[in-house]
Structure 1
Amino acid sequence: MRLHLLLTAGLVAALAGPLVAQSTHSGTDKFAQLGTELPTPNTYRTASGAPGADYWQQRADYNIKVTLNDDNQSITGSEDITYTNLSPDKLTYLWLQLDANIYAPNSMTASTQNAELKDKMSVQALEYIARTGFDGSFKIDDVRMKGGKNLPYTVNYTMMRIDLPQPLAPKQSVTFSVKWHYNINDHLKLGGRSGYELFPEDKNVLYEIAQFYPRMAVYDDVNGWQHKQFLGGGEFTLPFGDYRVAITAPADHIVGATGTLQNPDQVLTATQRKRLEEAKKAKKPVVIVTQAEATQAEKNRAKNTKTWVYSAKNVRDFAWASSRKFIWDAMGIEIEGKPVMAMSYYPKEANPLWGQYSTESVAHTLKVYSRMTVPYQYPVAISVHGNIGGMEYPMLCFNGYRPEKDGTYSAGTKYGLISVVIHEVGHNFFPMIVNSDERQWTWMDEGLNTFMQYLTEQEWERNYPSRRGEPRQIVDYMRADKNVQNPIMVNSESVLQLGNNAYGKPATALNILRETVMGRELFDYAFKEYARRWAYKHPTPADFFRTMEDASGVDLDWFWRGWFYTTDRTDLAIEGVQWYKVDSKNPEVENARRRQELNAAPQSLSQQRNLQDIKKTLVDDEKPGLKDFYNSYDPLATTEADKAAYQKYYASLSPKEQEILNKGLNFYQVNFRNIGGLVMPVVVQMTFEDGSKEVVNIPAEIWRKNNEQVTKVFVTEKPVASFTLDPFLQTADTDLSNNAFPRQLAPSRFELFQQQQRPATNPMQRNVSSQQPQRNNGTGTTGGGN
Structure 2
Amino acid sequence: MLSAALMAGGKHQPEDKFRQLEEILPTPNDYRTASGAPGHEYWQQRADYDINLVLDDTRQHISGEARVTYYNRSPDTLRYLWVQLDQNRFAADSDQRLAEPAPKLYKSHSKSIYLPDEEKVQVGSIRPYVAGREFHGGFDIKDVRDGEGRPLRHTIVKTMMRVDLPQPLKPGEQMSFEVVWDYPIVDQKDFRTRAGYEYFEEDGNYLYEIAQFFPRMAAYTDVNGWQHKQFLGRGEFTLEFGDYRVAITVPSDHVVAATGVLQNADEVLRPEWRRRLEKARTAKEPVMVITEAEATANESSRAKDTRTWVFEAKEVRDFAFASSRKFIWDAWGFKQENGETVMAMSYYPKEGNPLWERYSTHSIVHTLAVYNRYTLVYPYPVAISVNGPVYGMEYPMICFNGPRPEKDKTYGRRTKYGLISVIIHEVGHNYFPMIVNSDERQWTWMDEGLNTFVQFLAEKEWEDRYPSRRGEPRDIIEYMVSDAQVPIMTNSESLLQFGNNAYAKPATALNILRETILGRELFDFAFREYSRRWQFKRPMPADFFRTMEDASGVDLDWFWRGWFYSTDHVDLSIASVELYRNGSREPEVEGPLQRKDQEEEPLSVSEERNRNVPKRVEAYASLRDFYNDHDPFTPTPLQEEMFRERTEHFEPEELKLLEADLNYYMVTFENVGGLVMPVLLEITYADGEIEEQRIPAEIWRRNPERVTKLIATDREIKSFRIDPRWETADADVENNHYPRKPVPSRFRLFKKHKRNQMQEMQKQPPVSSDAGSGASDRP
| TM-score using structure 1 length | 0.90
* CA-CA distance at 1:626 after TM superposition: 10
* CA-CA distance at 1:490 after TM superposition: 0.8
Against the structure 1 CA distance between its residues 117 and 561, is the aligned structure 2 distance closer, same or farther, given a 3 Å change threshold? closer
Deviations 1:15-56 (A, max 9, x none): xxxxxxxxx972532222213321111111111111111111
Instruction: State the partner residue of 2:33.
Output: 46
Contact 1:408–1:773, Cα closer than 8 Å, also in 2: no
Contact 2:196–2:389, Cα closer than 8 Å, also in 1: no
Instruction: State the partner residue of 1:537.
Output: 537
Instruction: State the partner residue of 1:339.
Output: 341
Q: Secondary structure at the match of 1:761?
A: helix
Q: Secondary structure at the match of 2:82?
A: strand
Contact 1:317–1:393, Cα closer than 8 Å, also in 2: yes
Instruction: State the partner residue of 2:496.
Output: 496
Instruction: State the partner residue of 2:199.
Output: 198
Structure 1: gaps (5+ residues): 1-23
Against the structure 1 CA distance between its residues 428 and 605, is the aligned structure 2 distance closer, same or farther, given a 3 Å change threshold? same
- Superposed, 1:363-762 pairs within 5 Å as 363-481=365-483, 484-584=484-584, 590=590, 593-606=593-606, 614=612, 654-657=651-654, 659-661=656-658, 663-750=660-747, 752-762=749-759
Deviations 1:705-746 (A, max 9, x none): 222222221122222111212222112122222222211223
Q: Secondary structure at the match of 1:32?
A: coil
Instruction: State the partner residue of 1:17.
Output: none
Contact 1:95–1:216, Cα closer than 8 Å, also in 2: yes
Contact 2:276–2:774, Cα closer than 8 Å, also in 1: no
Instruction: State the partner residue of 2:352.
Output: 350
Partner Cα separation in structure 2 for residue 124 and residue 730 of structure 1: 37
* CA-CA distance at 1:532 after TM superposition: 0.8
* CA-CA distance at 1:458 after TM superposition: 1.0
* CA-CA distance at 1:155 after TM superposition: 0.8
* CA-CA distance at 1:776 after TM superposition: 8.3
Instruction: State the partner residue of 1:110.
Output: 97
- Answering whether residue 772 of structure 2 is matched by residue 780 of structure 1, we say yes
Q: Higher relative contact order at CA 8 Å, sep ≥6: structure 1 or structure 2?
A: 1
* CA-CA distance at 1:443 after TM superposition: 0.5
- Superposed, 1:126-205 pairs within 5 Å as 126-130=126-130, 131-205=132-206
Instruction: State the partner residue of 2:18.
Output: 31
Structure 2: gaps (5+ residues): 1-10, 106-118
* CA-CA distance at 1:245 after TM superposition: 0.8
| Farther-moved stretch of structure 1 (584-593 vs 76-85) | 584-593
Contact 2:18–2:558, Cα closer than 8 Å, also in 1: yes
Instruction: State the partner residue of 2:112.
Output: none
Contact 2:285–2:771, Cα closer than 8 Å, also in 1: no
Partner Cα separation in structure 1 for residue 565 and residue 615 of structure 2: 76
Contact 2:320–2:395, Cα closer than 8 Å, also in 1: yes
Contact 2:248–2:310, Cα closer than 8 Å, also in 1: yes
Contact 1:204–1:325, Cα closer than 8 Å, also in 2: yes
* CA-CA distance at 1:189 after TM superposition: 1.2
* CA-CA distance at 1:292 after TM superposition: 1.1
- Answering whether residue 241 of structure 2 is matched by residue 240 of structure 1, we say yes
* CA-CA distance at 1:761 after TM superposition: 3.0
Contact 2:103–2:126, Cα closer than 8 Å, also in 1: no
Deviations 1:96-134 (A, max 9, x none): 111111111111111111114864567765441141211
* CA-CA distance at 1:750 after TM superposition: 4.4
Deviations 1:198-246 (A, max 9, x none): 1222222111110011101101111111111001000000000001111
Partner Cα separation in structure 2 for residue 429 and residue 542 of structure 1: 19
* CA-CA distance at 1:652 after TM superposition: 7.9
**What amino acid is the match of 2:504?**
G
Partner Cα separation in structure 1 for residue 462 and residue 12 of structure 2: 46
**What amino acid is the match of 2:693?**
V
- Answering whether residue 331 of structure 2 is matched by residue 330 of structure 1, we say yes
* CA-CA distance at 1:570 after TM superposition: 1.5
- Answering whether residue 55 of structure 2 is matched by residue 68 of structure 1, we say yes
Partner Cα separation in structure 1 for residue 276 and residue 226 of structure 2: 46
Instruction: State the partner residue of 2:274.
Output: 273
* CA-CA distance at 1:656 after TM superposition: 3.1
Instruction: State the partner residue of 1:16.
Output: none
Q: Secondary structure at the match of 2:525?
A: helix
Contact 1:217–1:238, Cα closer than 8 Å, also in 2: yes
| Farther-moved stretch of structure 1 (621-630 vs 727-736) | 621-630
| TM-score using structure 2 length | 0.90
Contact 1:63–1:245, Cα closer than 8 Å, also in 2: yes
Against the structure 1 CA distance between its residues 174 and 764, is the aligned structure 2 distance closer, same or farther, given a 3 Å change threshold? same
Partner Cα separation in structure 1 for residue 640 and residue 774 of structure 2: 86
Deviations 1:541-596 (A, max 9, x none): 11111111111221122221221111111122221111111124577765554454
Contact 1:355–1:776, Cα closer than 8 Å, also in 2: no
Contact 2:289–2:774, Cα closer than 8 Å, also in 1: no
* CA-CA distance at 1:751 after TM superposition: 5.2
Contact 2:260–2:313, Cα closer than 8 Å, also in 1: yes
* CA-CA distance at 1:463 after TM superposition: 2.2
Contact 1:351–1:775, Cα closer than 8 Å, also in 2: no
Partner Cα separation in structure 2 for residue 526 and residue 123 of structure 1: 46
**What amino acid is the match of 1:780?**
G
**What amino acid is the match of 1:693?**
I
Partner Cα separation in structure 2 for residue 379 and residue 25 of structure 1: 61
Q: Secondary structure at the match of 2:266?
A: helix
**What amino acid is the match of 1:386?**
G
Partner Cα separation in structure 2 for residue 712 and residue 630 of structure 1: 40
Partner Cα separation in structure 2 for residue 670 and residue 124 of structure 1: 54
Contact 1:96–1:160, Cα closer than 8 Å, also in 2: yes
Instruction: State the partner residue of 1:11.
Output: none
Partner Cα separation in structure 1 for residue 559 and residue 650 of structure 2: 46
Instruction: State the partner residue of 1:311.
Output: 312
Q: Secondary structure at the match of 1:196?
A: strand
Instruction: State the partner residue of 2:88.
Output: 101
Instruction: State the partner residue of 2:287.
Output: 286
Q: Secondary structure at the match of 1:432?
A: coil
Against the structure 1 CA distance between its residues 332 and 634, is the aligned structure 2 distance closer, same or farther, given a 3 Å change threshold? same
Contact 2:146–2:152, Cα closer than 8 Å, also in 1: yes
* CA-CA distance at 1:641 after TM superposition: 13
Partner Cα separation in structure 1 for residue 635 and residue 687 of structure 2: 30
**What amino acid is the match of 1:35?**
E
Partner Cα separation in structure 2 for residue 497 and residue 145 of structure 1: 44
* CA-CA distance at 1:289 after TM superposition: 0.8
Contact 1:290–1:777, Cα closer than 8 Å, also in 2: no
* CA-CA distance at 1:476 after TM superposition: 0.5
Percent sequence identity over aligned pairs:
58
* CA-CA distance at 1:154 after TM superposition: 0.9
Contact 1:246–1:310, Cα closer than 8 Å, also in 2: yes
